[in-house]
């Protein structure tokens, strides 16, 4: 189980499937769960950064990585080599995340020491106590020190084998010959290449660790090439390294010949033991022909040898050593004295030509045979041995296993004398925790050397001698170990200074860039004259604004240019139909997926916004003229146009060429399944590869914030009069032949084609007002969708911050087309709203009986219509004036609707209180005036006709004010968000939802009161001396309609409804309820039980999948038809028989995943495992979030073309 978890995080079912079965075991499940809890931690279902869903998995615990992870066992269990490598990578990641690895180097694999072997088996570790194995390990270490191509995996395995050899006890005793050689301190300095069994005198590891191999005898030119494996190259770098320090042992061996009987031929090696690549030499050093120079590189030196600590040096052994020294001295020239004393100096490590000499084995055999005298005759007998001509080349090595370990430690640490014995370390911890197998190469070599020193005092002294010899001129590293913390602090200080220098350079670069932009500005708009106090408070900081053409970087050609009439620049955008706003509800308590008839009946009572708006538009169409109705509402709650951008720009000419190249590619690969509908304008952003289907052109003045129309010092009356003049004035006529205007016409066609025909217009006549309704509704849809994506509240700190860089270019395009339509419905409406030039004729019945009364109009639609028809960059004072005047209308509409919910006694009470008030600036006065005007018609119903709850409600002033604030909030949110986009300002954030009204009225410029809280009536602004006349005029127009259609008037007046956030159906926690209720439920269309029933998560309707029984005309599947009707082409279906969510987006569909998981966080697709499934709230919220933000196209990549037959 540990091996499986170390390869990858596993789900519960994967572990069960991959675990081997135990025959005859009935407690496997119990043992499985117990073991799993002990070795792994559960990681619940999660999501990746890109939105991909992850199932619940088990991850190894930290102690598993530290103590139980064994790469050898993982390698045996892994099916593929990549699984083993994945475990190594995961271990390295764990070491870095837990700060177990002090540096950034790659850690070594933590090979574990195996436990004892059962007595019934033979321990394979006996091979570790073999001189041949030690010779192979010596070869690997030598190559690791001198050859940079040796991998760290080979080094780690070599160190691991050495560690096991010293930990595994020796089970055999030394033979008499081995004991004599060990006790005599004899060193076989000369070894034959590849003759590994004769490199060391014994199989005893602690003696062989100290054994120094001085010279490696190489074959001569006459040697059989089949018996050797050599590399045919000369290492010139080794020649250059010939002057480095290295101790040389000058052996006191005479010029004697080898004993022919003891001459050993090179062994025939079929599988070399040097663990090198097949194309490399198996020899210790590369060899060339005899006439060429053979070089071995060595940058460090070895140390003198010593005998085993397990054998005491006796007098007899001393005698043998002295006798041997005498015999060796006889065969040496005069210059070779102090034969056994190591000398340290310069060594070229170049292979020497040497005369015939006697092997040390012959000398030692002569001593053992009794010829230990120093007579001349014995010496002559030794010199008379036949000469050897088989080997005449040798390489100076002067290394032992311990010296190689020390050198390798220094090489991997990148500093000399890096190893510090454990007794010299400051604050060293010799507990078992210090042997934690997490670290790089120096860490594991240090553990090995520490273990060697602890188990052998002589080896510890030998290590110290080597360090003294190799780095006698180097300062001790113990002081550097003491100052490690200081070095770390210095390193951190250097990093801090580097960051400061980088920040300074970046700041200097930014300042130079800013200075360049300022010097390249074309013109500067100077500050105008001082305006009134309101205008000063709103725009004094921005009266002097640099006017420049903003430049954009094209992601296709890479040029940075401004957008112009001849060469326009556009935004990469995606247009799609949306019905998210239409799924807002009045009441969400009963909006659950029905799993019983009672829940189904409750679901039918849920009223959605789309149905509410449709009924309202139909009611207005039955009672008023078509043109007036079109200007009184907005559409787009079903099938509205949502626009999204990735934020990248491109030239429209480049886009045209890009689309043409995509068409050419598709024509050349017609046999492939195409992922883009290029013929319908689809393409991928050339930079981020996000789906797009249009380019939103940018006007040259989009980046300018300065007002084109600035207000002069004036009061509210003058501002309202100036606005009336702007409304009646003719807009500038654009050049219809320019490339920019052609692009704007093209984007409007794309918007019309993005939705379905039934959602484009609410009138059969294609008049200018119908087109204007479509244009204003596009702006309304995108503003309200942004509020929905922010959580329904504007300015809340915990809300999501949605950046929409495409809204201002969109508003410019919509405004340009609105001005081209030349629709002026507000020439008479604006005086009616403000009270300017009010007379009796304006409120006559003959003029207003077919016009929608002001109290029944959608004031938010009026705001957008005014903004689109006026110049785009008007002064903030003008925008605040518009918002103030429209707020009066919204407030009056809310008061009129609220009085209909009061009993007769409460209305009389408010009317009596208003009699004492003389102005319309208080709550009581406005409510009383509205009641006094409307009570003369049949608007109010009798108390006995009211429901019990409404009749029993007792309204207080605070409750009335709170309700009016709530009813005015939707208008304030749109007005504030529109101002934020136009003037590039941000709403001040707040913590509590109760502060939203106060912050918004001050941001929009409606409230003059700077206090933190204000009443809803204190924000009213009347610019006439007789505000009562204006208010009564609005009510009289409404009374005319009330007298004609009382019920319709009462229904249409109730338009300020609190709509809850759009949401998907709430699902039951247990999936079994859904399965039991729906898997045998008949379809409502064909009355048959579908084979693959699916449920719409927007409305709860059961549809047939993969069947033709419910196909409509033109062979369109029921699910596709329902996605258009219910979600404007976007719908989510829950497949009952598989628990999978299927998402339909336009002409595409994909398998989204499952929102029901088992107890271990896993999906059970197609219900094959039969596990109980439970709702994953996190996944369902993700699905709902992707639906609200229209991000299915960006988060899901595996789409298919459903071809209307899903």
Q: Retrieve residue 1204's tokens.
A: 């209307």
Top mean pLDDT of 182-186, 203-207, 543-547, 1094-1098 is at 1094-1098
User: What angle is formed at CA 83 by the lines to CA 81 and CA 88, rounded to 5 degrees?
Assistant: 100
How high is the pLDDT of residue 515? 67
* Coil vs helix vs strand at 800: coil
User: Is pLDDT larger for residue 524 or for residue 790?
Assistant: 790
Share of the chain above pLDDT 90, in %: 42
**142 confidence band (pLDDT: 50, 70, 90):** very high
Cα–Cα separations (whole angstroms), residue 731 to 321, 542, 722, 871: 117, 25, 15, 8
Question: Taking residues 468-493, what's their average pLDDT?
Answer: 62
Q: Tell me: the pLDDT tens digits for 603-641?
A: 999 999 999 999 999 999 999 998 999 999 999 999 999
pLDDT at 1198 over 50: yes
In the predicted structure, residue 1077 carries a pLDDT above the cut 80: yes
Q: Could you tell me which of 774, 776, 782, 781 has the C-alpha nearest to residue 752?
A: 774
Structure tokens at 456: 């052998």
What confidence score (pLDDT) does residue 1137 get?
A: 92
Q: How many CB atoms lie within 10 A of CB 1108?
A: 11
C-alpha span between 557 and 769 (Å, rounded):
41
Asked if the model's pLDDT at residue 899 lies above 50, the reply is: yes
Handedness of CA 280, 282, 284, 288 (dihedral sign): negative
Which tokens hold the place of 205?
């590891």
pLDDT category, 48, cuts 50, 70, 90? Answer: confident
Could you tell me which residues come within 8 angstroms of residue 512 by beta carbon, excluding any fewer than 6 positions away?
none
- Residues 187, 359: Cα–Cα separation, whole Å: 11
3-class SS string, 693-726: CEEEEECCCCCCCCCCECCCCCCHHHHHHHHHHH
Torsion angle, alpha carbons of 22, 27, 29, 30, to 10: -140
pLDDT higher than threshold 80 for residue 84? yes
Distance, in Å, from the CA atom of 907 to the CA atom of 927, rounded to the nearest integer, reads: 9
Question: Strand 245-249 and strand 342-346: pairing?
Answer: antiparallel
Per-residue pLDDT, 541 = 37
pLDDT of 301: 34
Per-residue pLDDT, averaged over 15-34, amounts to: 73
pLDDT the model gives residue 96: 87
Query: What crossing angle do the helices spanning 176-184 and 360-368 adopt, rounded to 10°?
Result: 110
Helices (H), 196-333: 205-210, 236-240, 315-330
* CB contact at 8 A, 525 and 547: yes
Q: What is the pTM of this model?
A: 0.74
Q: β-pairing, 640-651 with 1093-1096? A: unpaired
pLDDT digits (tens, 9 = 90+) for 212-243: 998 888 876 544 434 333 333 333 333 333 33
Sheet bearing 1102-1104, strands edge to edge: 1102-1104, 1093-1096, 1130-1135, 1141-1145, 1148-1153, 1200-1201
Token pair in block for residue 46: 């999660």
Region 773-802: what's the mean pLDDT? 85
Instruction: Give the tokens for residue 1142.
Output: 């299927």
Least confident of 262-266, 515-519, 644-648, 866-870: 262-266
- Give how far Cα 453 sits from Cα of 131, 412, 437, 464, Å: 21, 21, 18, 10
Average pLDDT in the chain: 77
Query: Which of helix, strand or coil describes residue 57?
Result: strand
- Average pLDDT estimate for 127-154: 92
DSSP state of 114: P
Token pair, residue 429, equals 């911890």
Asked if pLDDT for residue 703 goes beyond 70, the answer is no
Q: What is the pLDDT of residue 191?
A: 87
The encoded tokens of residue 279 equal 């194309």
Confidence (pLDDT) at 1145: 94
At which residue do the structure tokens 């120096």 appear?
442
Closest CA to 1126 of 1100, 1092, 1091: 1100
Structure tokens given for 188:
């076989």
pLDDT value for 618: 93
772, burial (CB in 10 Å: exposed 0-12, middle 13-18, buried 19+): buried
**pLDDT by residue (tens digit) across 327-363?**
333 233 333 333 333 333 333 333 343 333 333 334 3
Give the Å distances, CA to CA, from 1046 to 939, 1039, 1165.
6, 9, 57
C-alpha span between 476 and 109 (Å, rounded): 30
Pairing outcome for strands 190-192 and 213-218: parallel
pLDDT in tens, 648-692: 999 999 999 999 999 998 888 777 778 899 999 999 999 999 999
Burial class (CB in 10 A: 0-12, 13-18, 19+), 112: middle
488 pLDDT more than 70: no
> What would the two tokens of residue 152 be?
């760290």
CA distance 515 to 683: 38
Closest CA to 70 of 112, 19, 36: 112
As a whole number of angstroms, the distance between CA 734 and CA 754 comes to: 26
Contact assessment for residue 418 and residue 477, using Cβ atoms and an 8 Å cutoff: yes
Answer for the pair 884, 1005: CB distance below 8 angstroms, yes or no.
Answer: yes
Kindly report, residue by residue over 264-295, the tens digit of the pLDDT: 333 333 333 333 333 444 444 444 333 333 33
CA separation for the pair 196, 198 (Å, rounded) = 5
E strand residue ranges, 5-154: 40-43, 46-47, 53-54, 57-60
For residue 246, list its beta bridge partners: 345
Residue spans of alpha helices (H) in 374-483: 376-383, 401-413, 441-455, 457-470, 477-482
Structure confidence at residue 319 as a pLDDT band (50, 70, 90): very low
């Amino acid at each position: 189980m540990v091996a499986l978890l170390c390869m990858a995080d596993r789900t519960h079912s994967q572990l069960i499937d991959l675990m081997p079965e135990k025959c005859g075991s009935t407690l496997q499940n119990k043992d499985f769960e117990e073991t799993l809890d002990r070795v792994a931690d559960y990681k619940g279902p999660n999501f990746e950064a890109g939105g991909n869903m992850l199932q619940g998995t088990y991850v190894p615990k930290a102690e598993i990585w530290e103590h139980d992870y064994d790469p050898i066992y993982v390698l045996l269990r892994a099916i593929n080599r990549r699984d083993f490598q994945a475990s190594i990578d995961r271990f390295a990641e764990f070491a870095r995340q837990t700060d177990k690895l002090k540096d950034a180097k790659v850690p070594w694999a933590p090979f574990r020491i195996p436990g004892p072997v059962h007595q019934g088996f033979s321990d394979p570790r006996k091979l570790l106590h073999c001189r041949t194995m030690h010779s192979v390990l010596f070869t690997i270490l030598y190559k690791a020190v001198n050859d940079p191509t040796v991998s760290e995996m080979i080094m780690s395995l070599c160190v691991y084998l050495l560690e096991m050899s010293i930990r595994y006890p020796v089970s055999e005793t030394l033979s008499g010959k081995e004991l004599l050689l060990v006790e005599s301190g004899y060193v076989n300095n000369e070894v034959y290449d590849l003759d590994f069994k004769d490199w060391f005198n014994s199989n005893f590891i602690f003696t062989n660790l100290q054994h120094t191999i001085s010279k490696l005898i190489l074959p001569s030119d006459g040697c059989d090439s089949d018996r050797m494996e050599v590399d045919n190259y000369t290492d010139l770098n080794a020649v250059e390294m010939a002057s480095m320090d290295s101790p040389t042992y000058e052996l006191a061996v005479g010029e004697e010949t080898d004993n022919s009987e003891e001459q050993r031929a090179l062994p025939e090696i079929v599988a070399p033991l040097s663990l090198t690549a097949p194309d490399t030499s198996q020899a210790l050093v590369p060899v060339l022909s005899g006439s060429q120079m053979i070089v071995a590189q060595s940058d460090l030196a070895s140390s003198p040898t010593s005998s085993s600590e397990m054998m005491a040096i006796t007098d007899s052994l001393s005698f043998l050593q002295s006798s041997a020294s005498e015999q060796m001295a006889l065969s040496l020239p005069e210059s070779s004295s102090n034969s056994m004393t190591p000398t340290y100096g310069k060594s070229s490590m170049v292979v020497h030509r040497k005369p015939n000499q006697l092997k040390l084995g012959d000398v030692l055999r002569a001593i053992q045979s009794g010829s230990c005298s120093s007579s001349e005759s014995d010496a002559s007998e030794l010199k008379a041995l036949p000469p050897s001509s088989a080997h005449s080349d040798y390489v100076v090595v002067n290394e032992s296993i311990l010296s190689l370990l020390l050198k390798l430690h220094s090489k991997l640490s990148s500093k000399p004398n890096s190893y510090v014995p454990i007794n010299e370390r400051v604050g060293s911890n010799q507990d078992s925790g210090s042997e934690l197998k997490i670290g790089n190469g120096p860490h594991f070599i240090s553990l090995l050397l520490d273990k060697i020193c602890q188990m052998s005092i002589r080896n510890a002294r030998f290590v110290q001698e080597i360090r003294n010899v190799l780095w006698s001129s180097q300062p001790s590293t113990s002081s550097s170990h003491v100052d490690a913390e200081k070095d770390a602090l210095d390193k951190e200080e250097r990093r801090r200074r580097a960051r400061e220098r980088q920040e300074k350079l970046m700041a200097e670069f930014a300042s130079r860039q800013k200075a360049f932009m300022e010097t390249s500005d074309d013109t500067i708009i100077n500050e105008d004259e001082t305006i009134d106090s309101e205008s000063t408070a709103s725009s004094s900081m921005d009266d002097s604004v640099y006017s420049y053409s903003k430049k954009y970087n094209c992601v296709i050609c890479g040029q940075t240019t401004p957008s112009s009439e001849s060469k326009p620049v556009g935004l990469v955008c995606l247009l799609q139909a949306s019905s998210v706003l239409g799924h807002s509800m009045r009441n969400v308590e009963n909006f659950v997926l029905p799993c019983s008839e009672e829940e189904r009946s409750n679901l039918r009572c849920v009223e959605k916004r789309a149905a509410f708006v449709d009924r309202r538009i139909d009611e207005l169409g039955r009672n008023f003229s078509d043109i007036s109705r079109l200007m009184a509402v907005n559409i787009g709650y079903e099938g509205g146009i949502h626009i999204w951008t990735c934020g990248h720009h491109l030239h429209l000419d480049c886009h045209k060429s890009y689309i043409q190249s995509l068409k050419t590619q598709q024509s050349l690969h017609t046999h492939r399944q195409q992922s883009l509908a290029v013929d319908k304008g689809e393409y991928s952003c050339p930079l981020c590869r996000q789906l797009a289907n249009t380019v939103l052109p940018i006007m040259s003045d989009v980046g300018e914030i300065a007002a084109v129309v600035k207000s002069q010092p004036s009061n509210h009356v003058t501002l309202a009069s100036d606005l009336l003049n702007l409304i009646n004035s003719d807009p500038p006529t654009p050049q219809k032949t320019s490339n920019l205007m052609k692009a704007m016409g093209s984007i409007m066609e794309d918007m019309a084609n993005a939705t379905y025909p039934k959602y484009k217009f609410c009138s059969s006549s294609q008049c200018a007002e119908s087109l204007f309704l479509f244009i204003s509704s596009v702006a309304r849809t995108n503003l309200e969708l942004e509020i929905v994506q922010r959580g329904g509240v504007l300015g809340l700190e915990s809300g999501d911050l949605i950046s929409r860089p495409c809204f201002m270019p969109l508003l410019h395009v919509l405004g340009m087309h609105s001005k081209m339509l030349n629709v002026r419905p507000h020439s008479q409406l604006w005086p009616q709203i403000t009270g300017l030039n009010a007379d009796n004729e304006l409120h006559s019945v003959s003029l207003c009986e077919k016009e929608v009364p002001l109290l029944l109009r959608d004031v938010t639609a009026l705001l957008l219509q005014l903004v689109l028809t006026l110049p785009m960059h008007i002064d903030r004072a003008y925008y605040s004036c518009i918002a103030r005047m429209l707020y009066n209308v919204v407030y009056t509409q809310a008061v009129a609707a609220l009085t209909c919910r009061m009993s007769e006694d409460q209305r009389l009470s408010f009317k009596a209180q208003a009699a004492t008030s003389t102005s319309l600036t208080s709550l009581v006065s406005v409510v009383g005036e509205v009641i006094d005007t409307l009570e003369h018609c049949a608007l109010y119903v009798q108390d006995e006709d009211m429901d019990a709850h409404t009749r029993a409600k007792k309204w207080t002033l605070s409750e009335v004010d709170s309700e009016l604030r709530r009813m005015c909030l939707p208008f304030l949110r749109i007005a504030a968000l529109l101002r934020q986009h136009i003037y590039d300002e941000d709403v001040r954030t707040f913590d509590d939802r109760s502060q939203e009204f106060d912050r918004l009225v001050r941001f929009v410029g409606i409230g003059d009161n700077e206090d933190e809280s204000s009443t809803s009536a204190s924000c009213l602004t009347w610019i006439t001396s007789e505000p009562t006349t204006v208010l009564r005029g609005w009510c009289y127009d409404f009374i005319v309609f009330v007298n004609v259609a009382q019920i319709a008037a009462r229904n249409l007046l109730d338009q300020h409804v609190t709509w809850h956030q759009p949401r998907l159906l709430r699902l039951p926690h247990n999936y079994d309820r859904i399965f039991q209720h729906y898997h045998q439920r008949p379809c409502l269309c064909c009355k048959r039980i579908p084979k693959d029933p699916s449920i719409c998560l927007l409305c709860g309707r059961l549809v047939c999948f993969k069947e033709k029984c419910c196909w409509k005309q033109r062979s369109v599947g029921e699910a596709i038809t329902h996605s258009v009707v219910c979600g404007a082409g976007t719908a989510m279906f829950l497949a009952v028989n598989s628990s999978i969510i299927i998402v339909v987006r336009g002409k595409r569909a994909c398998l989204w995943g499952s929102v029901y998981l088992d107890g271990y966080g896993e999906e059970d697709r197609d219900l094959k495992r039969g596990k109980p499934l439970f709702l994953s709230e996190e996944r369902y919220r993700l699905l709902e979030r992707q639906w609200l933000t229209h991000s299915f196209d960006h988060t899901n990549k595996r789409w298919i073309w459903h071809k209307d037959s899903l």
